[in-house]
Amino acid sequence: MNKVSVVILNWNGADMLRRFLPSVLICSAGDGVEVCVADNGSSDDSCRMLEQEFPAVRLIRLDRNYGFADGYNKAFEHVDAEYVVLLNSDVEVAPGWLAPMVKYMDVHPEVAACQPKLLDWKRKEYFEYAGAAGGFIDRYGYPFCRGRIFEVVEKDKGQYDAPVSVFWATGAALFIRLDKYREVGGLDGRFFAHMEEIDLCWRLRSRGYKLVCLPESVAWHVGGATLKKENPRKTFLNFRNNLLMLYKNLPPEELRPVMRVRACLDYVAACVFLLKGDWANFRAVIQARKEYARLRPQFKADRQENLDKAVGFNVSGRFPFSILWQSKLLGHKKYSDLPLK
């Protein structure tokens, strides 16, 4: 058994692998550490390139594109390690990035997963949208981070360099105990992509495990390498999967009131797209709500299992306020501006 398996999921990303895989190999070298690439049925020359240019990397060939969620579930069937890292193919890592996470997890068995500080590869002094210095959600399921609220991304001035308990850890560089990943069912493959790591983290948190951000470990993420921001497909997946995540995990007394408010907020978002003349994203939001209504019965058993296995619903990191209200109406653009106590 390896101590750590760093697993990069790839789909037609030969150029990304050429650019970023060398830093992962150099900075992850150590006893008991392996670097794997799980290929999601690529049609480019990714596999041939890996075999010829990166023979030290273990190649896991999947027979088709399973998406981000099931792609990792399938890949981990071929992995035997205490810890695994879900690492995007467009991430550069700092020297020694694994050591702080291994050290912390080894002495904190109550912690199921952690993440490094995630910075923007294009503007390296800024946090990166997809995870920054640790993730949280508001009452209505909207995610935000230390260092990022909606479109406002902060400059890293060391203001979030203290380790902190978080509600969710970024899927761009998620360090997790493999047995805990499997215990809670892994990523939900029905999500395909987007929101799946927050859903996974919610299950871990509700079952009593902790998650942390360890800023001593650093990585830089390109972001948007697969689907650009406000791509209609990304909009559809984010809205649909967020609703499914809420349905799967919300406490019974919150389900109806939260979902009523979310319906209003989603239609407001659709109208904003419409007023901008963005018909594609308007349709994506409407279609996401229709698809959520169609799929919801298929998730009833998952919801019941999550409720049955929860050790408590008052999970820290899920805040009772609306981040939309705090940010858009009250002008609280930074994590440090929020009423967190």
In angstroms, the first-to-last Cα distance of the chain is 43
pLDDT > 90 in the chain, percent:
94
Task: For residue range 160-171, list pLDDT tens digits in order.
Answer: 999 999 999 999
Confidence category of residue 315, pLDDT binned at 50, 70, 90: confident
Task: For residue range 185-234, list pLDDT tens digits in order.
Answer: 999 999 998 999 999 999 999 999 999 999 999 999 998 644 455 799 99
- Measured CA to CA, the distance from residue 306 to residue 304 in angstroms comes to 5
Average pLDDT over residues 307-324: 89
* pTM (predicted TM-score): 0.94
What's 27's DSSP letter? H
Residue 146 predicted with pLDDT over 90: yes
Phi, psi of 68 (to 5 degrees): -65, -50
The residues pairing with 40 across neighbouring beta strands, listed in sequence order, are 62
Cα Rg for the chain, rounded, in angstroms?
19
Task: For residue range 169-183, list pLDDT tens digits in order.
Answer: 999 999 999 999 999
Which own/partner contact pairs does 305-309 have at CB distance under 8 Å and 24+ positions apart? 306/203, 306/206, 306/248, 306/249, 307/251, 307/252, 309/206, 309/207
Residue 124 predicted with pLDDT over 80: yes
pLDDT on residue 11: 95
Residue 330 predicted with pLDDT over 70: yes
2-221 topology per CATH: Spore Coat Polysaccharide Biosynthesis Protein SpsA; Chain A (3.90.550)
What's 243's DSSP letter? H
- Measured CA to CA, the distance from residue 24 to residue 30 in angstroms comes to 12
Contact status, residue 140 vs residue 239, Cβ threshold 8 Å: no
Task: For residue range 49-75, list pLDDT tens digits in order.
Answer: 999 999 999 999 999 999 999 999 999
pLDDT on residue 341: 67
